[in-house]
Chain A
């Protein structure tokens, strides 16, 4: 986007490595209390007088007070004068032609504004990757609950009655509902072959290995759809008219994604579209791309009515119509020596993308790259594809392909270990990748990686070996079987390969007339702590209190595009730009002579005031520069896939009751190496929350499909864990600072989603002797194998 701010200077600050790093991994205590400072690492390379460092402390949540008092304003808390409500009329079939739309019943239709595809001023597609998804179905529908028309009126009750009375006639076509049917091309429903995207990753030559291998082990693994279930449903308010343009407020993760989509929908110039993120009650990826759709709908109604329009989904609509985690099928073929060394891995990874392409290529990408895990193997082939079915498009959900492929890998390696007579942990130890070795994409690991030690520590923290022995003794005479299992994995932070370069993220920092510093970024606070850690990073870099830092509300008319709030990039990538941007402020102030090195906070504030009084606004910008020596080949899908990885071992202890075939997680240990913990309470909160969702993914959350529609679209029947269901989740961090992250931090938001499912199923195998290969794993399925 064009830089339309009255900036005094535009800084392009190179990401440079931090001086004075403690290169040894540091560990610290479990997160049961707020933490003090982490020791005496000197973090900021350019600090003056060292104030008490706030990075590493559990600074209180910046917007916490309004959240605990109910004062925080989410989109449904806002009302505008003359505002109308909007609702969406959706397809009741999976695939076919829309023959006729009639407005029936005893409804005052003349009062109700109706918007169809014909009312779209610009292009009828949601701009994302391949622009195949329409905002409103036009003559043809490709999935149940696809949006067809929109209605607006001031009376929300009347609207519900009206919605019920829209009669749509269809000419149904054969539809596909499963990944298998799509792969087998039972019907061609998208493009020429149902395939949105495919990848091939090769290293060495697996074909040379099978014949002579000591042992070859095959396996097949499945994961189901998962609903993000943010407790705040999707919602937006739009004001739109040809004179002023379009303004949308709403619950979202990526204001600039919405901006880009609305530009195309309305065929308006960029500066006529304004998108503002309101307090957002959870996203987890479910509000990455979907808000573009609902924002466009509200804006179209606003455009036609000339009034503000609010669209808020209820839970049933949000669950049935919006994105979910991609279901997957992974096939593994693995060759090992009798000493337990991996010699070849061939992986076939398929994800179900739903009816339109949306983000499937990127989900596929991440799942593909993570499919062979933190292991060293000379010969690897990964073939992957994202295929179409006639279901609402699947989309981003924390982990974004990696939980699916890592589940399969870890389950499979347990099987391989068993086949050669090695304990699961010993087998991993013999194959973990270390510094200097390469991953499946031939990325050379250039940081100190000690997965073996991480594994040792996790097993010790969870009392793994002693418990395995104890359970083996007790289980034969108990109806309740106990087991313990682990998973070892890594997660790449930031966009894949050249993604961050493509994004060209920019962050701004402004020194204000009242001596405060404002951070300008499009990175949204959605509960993960963006506002707080940005304040801490900025405060630390400037040597001032975090209280002096404000984080501007993400509003595309006043903040630059720092990229989407996804991909575990907000701290690691954008946080680094925050650091650079505020350092730019400091350099300007020093350069202007208004501030001397070694300043205190009061001096800093005065300098800001004086600068603004004398010269006008002081704003600096920092633009992303890739770290040196990051080389990625998009064609061959080879090279440095991610700047860095977080490394982890998770251990789950379970009990399985043979009366009801229910499995419960009794204890959970989550150990990860994350570069640097900026805020211990927030970081632990991310891990605990992610593990909670992953436990749901494993044992509770089952999307029940009927001809492409989710039929258990109520919280009564789509089950997430309650406070009574969640085990103690014990979180431990290690730190091996990443040179290009702020204070050494790596990204961690998605990491916790990857490890629980395979760890839990490994534990269930330990408890029952049965190897299950799919999640969600419900008691009904367990029962079939347990007599």
Chain B
């Protein structure tokens, strides 16, 4: 019975080739986009759920200035609270070393391997579900200078050798770490991502390390609470039992006018935090997920609309055939079932094609959806759920056509007395207009995101990246820092240099200091004396760092924002500790934007230091010509000062662009969504145009007989579509304006939305539609009227 139904369905579909083809194309496109987005969303929503302690894991966050939150705190806090809080089962401390992504084999230090190493305390393997293949979870990271690497990293570095007992470095000049364990690869949907854990004991056992300083807000503390523990109460207890840090917290509470400083954020919220504090942990802006999900649904809606439109325009042809079936004995229900079955078959065909397309093209979509493994084979739910959805889609899409095509009495049909009411025309117009609204709105969205990205790209941060390259140093280079730099300057294509602890855009160090009776937080940027001049940063008060470095060593230049925020009347009288001794504020610099333009400018201090440990990078200003030779010269000069292979030379403007990779990906995604929706809308329009030109062929012939030219016929055929496009714009523009404005409010530095953005979107939709409409109408408009008029 099902087989017979399937046979009838397929025959019916094949009989209306054009409609079937257009429907399959539109549905396949829609399902393709929908499936890709669903795979990505499923991945994002599954973050950290693989942890068996998922419901009891929390991240400690602190309230910062201006209502912000930060997830980095002093590691010392763990020691201070000790075992004083019974609700806490364990505390895992993480420290990710930024800008150091590679590890080296101790016995072969010339080869580096990307591992994104993270320092972690020994509790990590009991609190988190990172299964060990080799090693004891209780002890693998209990000692200093020990490491656990992932299975794939082990294979990469050691091949078939047993990695346990071997040694790794994270900097060539540092002490080696002994591998004590091998873990299974951490899944991609983990907030904590690494191929190599180093033992935090390496830091905590060193009294000079930041891990033992109350002022070092660079560590992530993950709390595993006991069953039934209240996280709010526990957070308050942590504050109360913070030992030597309690005074700091009290000072912050006073400074920020708040009753509480510490909060325990459940791990289920960690991946979706949009307050910026979780960027450390690869968090995603939940607004982005909502946008992705909305676009997925919109694309599906458009395909749904197309299906209804294309089937209903064919109703006139099919009604005669179905009328005969009813006259021969088919019940109305049977006819409806047949039509619904056809819709389901069509949807399943499209779903199958879309699945194949996802498997073939999924890996090419990384620029659009920031997830590498876009495949449906990862999870059977990913196959079953969408298949079920396809069936449901077919069911609902078939309902209206089933009602429509079964509504007429057979006798009327057979005597040619049946006519569809005008309501079908209105529905078609409304549905087509809806599609055009979606396409227009998405184009406006794409323009807005593009404008925002361009705004950031062209924003004068005060730290111009033009013609600036940088490379990571090593101990040999920093040991001979000035000599290395002077050697570079011998090439007249290299005009300036500076050493710095952080690359612009990635200042990662934050200090909490007591200044007067205030507790202040400052982003701290270790630089050399050339830095301000290198970027032409102007001084508002006081002076720049002196070339005579000994006099200014450890001194500071604060930014205007710091002075404004903390109301310093005499900033040049201020002194506070750096890392290793006090320093004085010798100047106030004009504000420069040193972090992402998403956030408001923060108080910041340039800290002059010649400590090689803080000269992680050398930045070079170069002439743009002869680039290849210049880069080669840099590498050759490196080779004179260091036996290690030269690191890759990066361009600062590309670094800036990478800061906005999320928004770039969003832009790519919206363009993808826009393209999908436009294609689906155009498929619908092609179907409608084809139908209308066929339906009106006699009218066209009569008008031509009466003297109408081809152009006049084309104008006639275009009129209704232009009306629909006009209505679509009137609806789309305010909607898009509202949502884009809301999106832009997420950014401290944002562009505006001039009127021409909206007009351009309308013009684009209109132009594309007119080209398609006229392409398919031209033939009809040019047909010899004789061919259409009925003769003898």
- Do A and B form a real pair? no
Residues of B within 8 A of A (CB): none
Binding site for B on A (CB under 8 A): none
